């Protein structure tokens, strides 16, 4: 029941997060702003991930359940803001705070489940909640499109606000209260600072950071490369969206099925290696549209497997400061996307094979960080 509830909450939150991309133009036209202004709103939203480590330790001091209720409450209020005030400033605030709510909920939920799940079974449990990311794209975003077409651009926000309130109530009654974290502000900040003085934590964060940079280098350029190569535009978006959604679900399913059996280090190493091979195959398979779709599927399924594999491993590196480290992991992934974007555009001027080479290089760096982590701390 708890896993179902957590997955549902993540699906709702991630729908609000992911719907911004396909409906960016719709929101811009409705509010009378240009796409450049809307893109600045997305940039501001991405900053929310970087501030989470500075606020979540204080929230978590009152318990995991409180942290989750706090984040779902922020989410419901943020999407409701647009319903009552359909203006650009309200949408800007809503995008920022719904993203912040997501970034608070995820590490709190992961820490809550990790507290009660043995490490050897944690991969399956946490991978199950990751379906909330792919289901948002496969189910949530199409539903948003249906609502926008029939009820206008505000209608998805009305539904999301209702679902936010509903899940807030369900959290109160279905999740038992956990222990309040012991200690005052000093102990919290000690836990916060200990992350950067603990080599295994640095190595673990580096894996997610570097793997995300590798993915973003290809992710940002792949569509541009296909357009330049085949002239693909709007007509191909549906097919590519379906491929991405199916590959994400497949990657999460593979982690749930095999991650604990393979072992944390072996599974993560396999993911990095497979993603590098998938990147190498992109220029080879991408001679035509169908080959490009196949290459895209392989690339995304291996990255999703890698990214989801990082999460259970990170939960055991610093059990005494679990939620703090998981919030830093969120920040590291956000930073990886921010770093990968300018690198991608720089490398593409030298050709797509150079872009692929850059992605493989960062995956190699991530693999080296994994070896460093294993040197410091055994990963069963």
Pair (173, 195) in one structural domain: no
Pair (133, 224) in one structural domain: no
Domain boundary among 182, 203, 224: 182
Pair (126, 235) in one structural domain: no
State yes or no: pLDDT of 22 exceeds 80. Answer: no
The span from the CA of 109 to the CA of 114, in Å, is 8
The span from the CA of 272 to the CA of 303, in Å, is 8
Domain containing residue 55: CATH number = 1.20.1250.20
Helices (H), 286-321: 289-314
Q: How many domains does the chain have?
A: 2
Domain boundary among 163, 182, 201: 182
The span from the CA of 207 to the CA of 229, in Å, is 32
Given a contact cutoff of 8 angstroms between Cβ atoms, the answer to whether 140 and 19 are in contact is: yes
Nearest-5° Cα angle at 179, 174 to 184: 135
State yes or no: pLDDT of 238 exceeds 70. Answer: no
- Write down the pLDDT at residue 183: 47
Given a contact cutoff of 8 angstroms between Cβ atoms, the answer to whether 94 and 78 are in contact is: yes
Pair (53, 171) in one structural domain: yes
Largest CA distance in the chain: 60
Pair (138, 72) in one structural domain: yes
Pair (137, 225) in one structural domain: no
In total, the chain counts a number of residues equal to: 380
Pair (261, 166) in one structural domain: no
Q: What band does 378 get if pLDDT is binned at 50, 70 and 90? A: low
- Write down the pLDDT at residue 260: 83
DSSP state of 183: S
Q: What band does 47 get if pLDDT is binned at 50, 70 and 90? A: confident
Average pLDDT score over residue span 119-124 = 86
Residue pLDDT, tens place only, 124-162:
899 999 999 999 988 898 899 899 989 999 999 999 999
Domain that holds residue 313: 191-376
Pair (348, 254) in one structural domain: yes
Residue 279, token pair as written in the block? 């990147």
Tell me, yes or no, if the pTM score tops 0.85: no
The span from the CA of 58 to the CA of 189, in Å, is 9
Domain boundary among 125, 151, 182: 182
Of the listed ranges 104-108, 134-138, 236-240, 369-373, the least confidently predicted one is: 236-240
Q: What integer best gives the mean pLDDT of the chain?
A: 86
């Amino acid at each position: 029941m708890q896993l179902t509830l957590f997955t549902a909450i993540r699906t709702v939150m991630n729908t609000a997060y992911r719907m911004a991309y396909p409906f960016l133009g719709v929101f811009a036209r409705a509010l009378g702003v240009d796409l450049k202004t809307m893109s600045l709103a997305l940039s501001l939203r991405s900053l929310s991930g970087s501030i989470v480590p500075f606020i979540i330790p204080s929230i978590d001091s009152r318990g995991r359940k409180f942290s989750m209720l706090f984040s779902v409450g922020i989410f419901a209020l943020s999407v409701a803001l647009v319903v009552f005030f359909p203006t650009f400033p309200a949408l800007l605030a809503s995008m920022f705070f719904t993203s912040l709510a997501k970034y608070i909920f995820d590490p709190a939920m992961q820490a809550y489940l990790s507290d009660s799940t043995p490490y050897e079974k944690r991969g399956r449990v946490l991978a199950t909640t990751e379906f909330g990311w792919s289901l948002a794209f496969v189910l949530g975003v199409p539903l948003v499109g249906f609502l926008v077409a029939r009820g206008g651009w505000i209608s998805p926000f009305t539904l999301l606000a209702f679902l936010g309130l509903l899940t807030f109530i369900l959290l109160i009654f279905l999740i038992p209260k956990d222990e309040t974290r012991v200690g005052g502000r000093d102990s919290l900040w000690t836990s916060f600072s200990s992350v950067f003085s603990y080599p295994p934590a640095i190595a673990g964060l580096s894996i997610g950071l570097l793997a995300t940079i590798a993915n973003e280098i290809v992710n940002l350029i792949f569509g541009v490369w296909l357009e330049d190569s085949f002239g693909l535009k709007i007509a191909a978006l549906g097919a590519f969206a379906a491929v991405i959604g199916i590959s994400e679900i497949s990657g999460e399913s593979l982690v749930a099925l095999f991650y604990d059996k393979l072992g944390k280090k072996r599974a993560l190493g396999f993911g990095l290696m497979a993603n590098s091979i998938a990147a190498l195959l992109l220029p080879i398979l991408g001679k035509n549209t169908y080959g490009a779709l196949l290459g895209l599927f392989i690339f995304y399924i291996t990255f999703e497997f890698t990214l989801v594999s990082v999460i259970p491993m990170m939960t055991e590196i610093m059990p005494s400061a679990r939620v703090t480290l998981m919030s830093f992991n969120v920040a590291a992934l956000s930073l990886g996307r921010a770093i990968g974007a300018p690198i991608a555009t720089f490398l593409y001027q030298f050709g797509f094979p150079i872009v692929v080479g850059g992605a493989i290089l960062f995956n190699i760096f991530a693999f080296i960080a994994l070896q460093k982590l294993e040197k410091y701390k055994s990963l069963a």
